């Protein structure tokens, strides 16, 4: 199984990734905290430092984009291609109120038809591969079959799924039935994300879901920097 370090705003910066990947190796991939391209189509100095650091990470890095505008996403993808990236991750799962109020992140899940249009435009024009990170709905788990049917129309590199709704944030039990639904018959790998905090948690998940190719670790890996190393 592969192990990914989740994008965490204010934590998984380029400095953290460079140090962590060398001092505590074991993660197969790191995802950057999201950046939000704007209509002026310029990378800010901070974004340039994050995406083209002087000291690169020792493992592959996938930039994450947060936007509801296909033109801005495609422009950013073109810029990422120029920087040498071959894939980006589209954030469809951030539950923060400041994000969802703007119709971004998990806010996109409220309007499936608009989400479908956005994805159609992005996948048609992006010069590099696209992966998706999503929750299972905005208010209720019953929203997920519709969302999944949309995702399955597109040639995503992978779907990273946190099986909670935006309303649930990080509380309550994860909906493993939704993850199982996604994992069964999707044309892309489905990566699990959520409530895996210790090596024991991860080993138990691996035993229960041997068909899963990868898991994404966030809060547990931030609390225990050596977690990935102990999984090897």
What's the pLDDT tens digit per position in 2-45?
Answer: 999 999 999 999 999 999 999 999 999 999 999 999 999 999 99
Q: What is the mean pLDDT of the chain?
A: 98
Give the contacts of 55 (CB within 8 A, at least 6 positions apart): 14, 15, 18
What is the Cα–Cα distance from 175 to 194, expressed in whole angstroms? 10
User: 148 φ, ψ to 5°?
Assistant: -65, -40
pLDDT tens per residue across span 189-218: 999 999 999 999 999 999 999 999 999 999
3 state DSSP class of 141: helix
pLDDT for res 223? 96
Domain ranges, residue 191: 2-230
Contact predicate 130/91, CB 8 Å: no
pTM of this structure: 0.97
Contact predicate 3/40, CB 8 Å: no
Extract long-range pairs of 107-112: CB within 8 Å, 24+ residues apart: 107/68, 107/138, 107/166, 108/68, 109/134, 109/135, 109/137, 109/138, 109/143, 109/147, 109/166, 110/138, 112/143, 112/146, 112/147, 112/150
pLDDT tens per residue across span 44-84: 999 999 999 999 999 999 999 999 999 999 999 999 999 99
Q: What is the CATH number of the domain that holds 158?
A: 3.20.20.70
pLDDT for res 221? 97
Percent of the chain with pLDDT over 70: 100
Percent of the chain with pLDDT over 90: 100
* Structural domains in the chain (count): 1
């Amino acid at each position: 199984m592969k192990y990914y370090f989740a994008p965490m705003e204010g934590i998984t910066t380029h400095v953290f990734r460079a140090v962590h990947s060398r001092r505590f190796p074991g993660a197969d991939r790191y995802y950057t905290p999201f950046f939000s391209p704007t209509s002026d189509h310029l990378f800010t100095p901070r974004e340039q430092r994050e995406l083209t650091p002087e000291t690169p990470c020792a493992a592959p890095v996938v930039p994450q984009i947060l936007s509801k505008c296909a033109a801005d996403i495609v422009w950013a993808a073109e810029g990422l291609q120029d920087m040498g990236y071959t894939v980006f991750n589209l954030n469809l799962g951030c539950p923060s109120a400041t994000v969802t109020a703007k119709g971004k992140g998990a806010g996109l899940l409220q309007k499936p038809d608009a989400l479908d249009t956005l994805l159609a435009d992005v996948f048609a024009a992006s010069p590099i591969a696209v992966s998706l990170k999503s929750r299972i709905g905005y208010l209720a788990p019953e929203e997920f079959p519709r969302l999944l049917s949309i995702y399955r129309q597109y040639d995503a590199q992978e779907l990273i799924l946190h099986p909670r709704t935006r309303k649930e944030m990080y509380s309550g039990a994860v909906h493993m039935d939704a993850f199982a639904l996604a994992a069964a018959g999707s044309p892309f790998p489905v990566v699990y994300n959520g409530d895996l905090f210790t090596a024991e948690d991860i080993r138990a998940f691996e035993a229960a879901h041997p068909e899963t190719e990868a898991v994404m670790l966030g809060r547990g890996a931030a609390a225990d920097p050596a977690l990935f190393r102990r999984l090897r």
